């Protein structure tokens, strides 16, 4: 394996390796994406804009804080190479940001990019399942456009990045849902336990015990599960004796 192949493998491993073993938090993943793009393509800088699930809020990062700020401002302005790539789903390759046409198309973004010392940009959309979820922008030297091999690789890198971000979001949503289901199941169990305790103590049916439990919770404006938990802990055993 050549040094270049080793470098490519290392960058892709950093981006995707943790997805299955130890998922990165979203902001760390974005930082890894931006830095990986810079290293892999010897760019002068890189930024990434990400809209989880195609919705707000926009998350950004860059190899320099000024680039992260540029990504956020571009979304607010509604202009820039990354903004166009994200909203159209089309890549913009080796765009000279110093030209008159670029300045007309993106007046604020072009001026900021030049002020930061960048003259050429390549922006690629990050694809989710059915929509664009973000964009990766690489800033390269004005006299060093990407060759065909590098362009093919950067397209693959953006594709893998979009897939990784999507998997991470789905994993996070699954974990949240699992937590909600676990909480709901726990609440259901404690309510059933409280019903049994009250029914046995006061000679009631389970339905009567539940009605009393629910009525107490409503009259005291408390959550049913909280009241039930106090019953199981022995703190409200006389709840229905009133």
Q: pLDDT tens digits, residue range 62-79?
A: 898 999 999 999 999 999
Residues constituting the chain: 242
Q: Which of 156, 175, 194 is the last residue of a domain?
A: 175
- Same structural domain, 110 and 206: no
Residue 62 phi, psi (nearest 5)? -160, 165
- Same structural domain, 168 and 185: no
Q: Are 122 and 91 in contact (CB under 8 A)?
A: yes
> How far, in Å, CA of 19 to CA of 231, rounded?
43
Residue 87: give the domain boundaries: 3-175
For residue 133, what are the CA distances in angstroms to 56, 116, 119, 123, 130? 10, 26, 26, 13, 9
Nearest to 69 by CA among 77, 208, 216: 77
pTM tops 0.95, yes or no: no
- Same structural domain, 92 and 200: no
- Same structural domain, 169 and 56: yes
Q: Are 113 and 44 in contact (CB under 8 A)?
A: no
CATH code for position 114? 3.30.450.40
* 242 — pLDDT class (breaks 50, 70, 90): low
Q: What percent of the chain has pLDDT over 70?
A: 83
- Same structural domain, 135 and 191: no
- Same structural domain, 120 and 228: no
pLDDT tens readout for residues 200-232: 888 888 888 888 888 888 888 988 888 888 888
> How far, in Å, CA of 122 to CA of 46, rounded?
10
- Same structural domain, 12 and 32: yes
- Residue entry with tokens 């994993």: 171
- Same structural domain, 105 and 215: no
- Same structural domain, 107 and 205: no
């Amino acid at each position: 394996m050549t040094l270049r192949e080793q470098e490519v493998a290392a960058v892709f491993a950093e981006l995707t390796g943790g997805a299955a073993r130890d998922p990165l938090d979203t902001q760390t993943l974005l930082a890894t994406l931006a830095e990986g793009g810079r290293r892999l393509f010897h760019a002068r800088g890189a930024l990434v804009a990400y809209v989880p699930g195609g919705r707000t809020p926009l998350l950004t990062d860059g190899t320099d804080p000024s680039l992260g700020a540029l990504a956020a401002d571009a979304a607010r302005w509604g202009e820039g190479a990354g903004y166009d790539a994200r909203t159209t789903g089309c890549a913009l390759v080796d765009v000279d940001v110093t030209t008159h046409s670029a300045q007309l198309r993106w007046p604020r973004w072009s001026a900021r990019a030049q002020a930061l010392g960048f003259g050429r940009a390549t922006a690629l959309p990050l694809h989710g399942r059915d929509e664009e979820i973000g964009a990766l922008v690489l800033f390269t030297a004005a006299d060093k456009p990407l060759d065909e091999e590098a362009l093919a690789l950067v397209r693959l890198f953006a594709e893998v990045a979009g897939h990784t971000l999507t998997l991470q979001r789905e994993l996070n949503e699954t974990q949240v849902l699992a937590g909600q289901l676990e909480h709901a199941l726990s609440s259901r169990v404690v309510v059933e336990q409280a019903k049994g305790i009250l029914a046995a103590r006061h000679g009631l049916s389970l339905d009567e015990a539940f009605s009393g439990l629910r009525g107490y919770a409503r009259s005291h404006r408390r959550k049913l599960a909280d009241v039930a938990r106090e019953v199981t802990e022995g703190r409200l055993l006389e709840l229905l004796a009133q």
